Amino acid sequence: MLVFSHSKEINGSKIGSKQLIEHIKGVLDKAVFGYYDQLSFSDKYSTLDILKHICWLHDFGKYTKYFQDYLIYPEKADNLLKSHSNLGAVVTYNLMESISPEIALIGYYLIKLHHSNLKDFESTIDPVGYREKIELEKFNLQIKALHDYSELLGFLYSSHKCNTKGLREGT
């Protein structure tokens, strides 16, 4: 099944207009092109691998049925479930947490707000927790509604050699 990142209207109907994997590759290419190789969070972690992971997962939530339906039928969309940033942010945090909680938080923050103004961590993470239950329910529904994202994993682990082993070793 084709999965799209964007849609366009043709003759009064919406259609998928850009494949999600192509969008993600484009974001990655731009990020790597603009990467400053002297940037470092620490000697232990490759900032380039961190950047690649963040690029690959920033739109992970677009693989859900909810987002794909939203592209074609926006008027029928569930506003909570079509939102894609949270899913990628949580997946990124969980992937990176064992490597470095600080880097995991940075990845979470950047993905969570990649369509917003970057603001302070506290308002993003919501220390009060009143939205935690809603976010968890939304996350679980989105996980169940994921389309096949094997194309993303295949490209992630082969073409760009962006893998968790490299991230852990700082290669």
Do residues 24 and 154 lie in contact, with contact meaning Cβ atoms separated by under 8 Å? Answer: no
Task: Report how far residue 97's alpha carbon sits from residue 76's, in angstroms, rounded to the nearest whole number.
Answer: 36
Mean pLDDT per block of 10 residues along the chain (171 residues) reads: 93 93 95 82 74 94 94 91 90 88 88 78 54 74 79 64 46 41
68 Cβ neighbours under 8 A, 6+ residues apart: 3, 4, 16, 62, 147
Residue type, 38: Q
Distance of CA 130 to the CA centre of its chain: 23
In this structure, how many other beta carbons lie within 10 angstroms of the beta carbon of residue 43?
Answer: 6
Structurally, the chain folds into a number of domains equal to: 1
Q: Classify residue 31 as left (phi > 0), alpha (psi -120 to 50) or beta.
A: alpha
- Cα separations (Å) of 120 from 25, 30, 109, 134? 29, 25, 9, 21
pLDDT computed for residue 89 by the predictor: 92
Task: Report how far residue 116's alpha carbon sits from residue 50's, in angstroms, rounded to the nearest whole number.
Answer: 21
- Cα separations (Å) of 7 from 17, 43, 65, 84, 89? 5, 42, 14, 15, 23
CATH number at residue 157: 1.10.3210
Containing domain of residue 22, as a range? 4-169
Tokens linked to 80 = 């909570």
